[in-house]
Amino acid sequence: MNEVLFEILKAVILLAIVLVVRYLIPWLKLQVEGTKNEWLVKWAELAVRSAEQTILGDKTGPEKKAIVTKFLKEQLQKKNISISDEQLNTLIEAAVYAMKQEKV
């Protein structure tokens, strides 16, 4: 009788482990990725808005973009997040576009 209960318990534990590995771990990875992506978008928007408001004078769009790019790269390095320059450029351009759409 004890052996039967023990075998059933082993099967239940094994099934629980399979379910955790199959469903819970991928779900957690998606949650972490989603949080990271939200963080990236938020910081890109903040950096672009900050540059637009604080960088005055003769600075042009490309110069402001270089400042924003440098700032975001520093923040990404601190958080140990690596993205390509193309992805960073896309984030910045999307933030600029969103800011301009709000002004209209």
The predicted-structure confidence for 11-64, as pLDDT tens digits, reads as follows 999 988 888 888 887 887 777 777 788 888 898 999 998 888 887 777 778 888
The closest of 55, 60, 47 to 94, measured between CA atoms, is 47
pLDDT on residue 86: 92
pLDDT-based confidence at residue 104 (cuts at 50, 70, 90): low
Residue pair 48/92 in contact by the 8 Å Cβ criterion: yes
| pLDDT attached to residue 90 | 92
Q: Cα(first)–Cα(last) distance of the chain, in Å?
A: 76
Report pLDDT digits (tens) over 72-88.
999 889 988 888 989 99
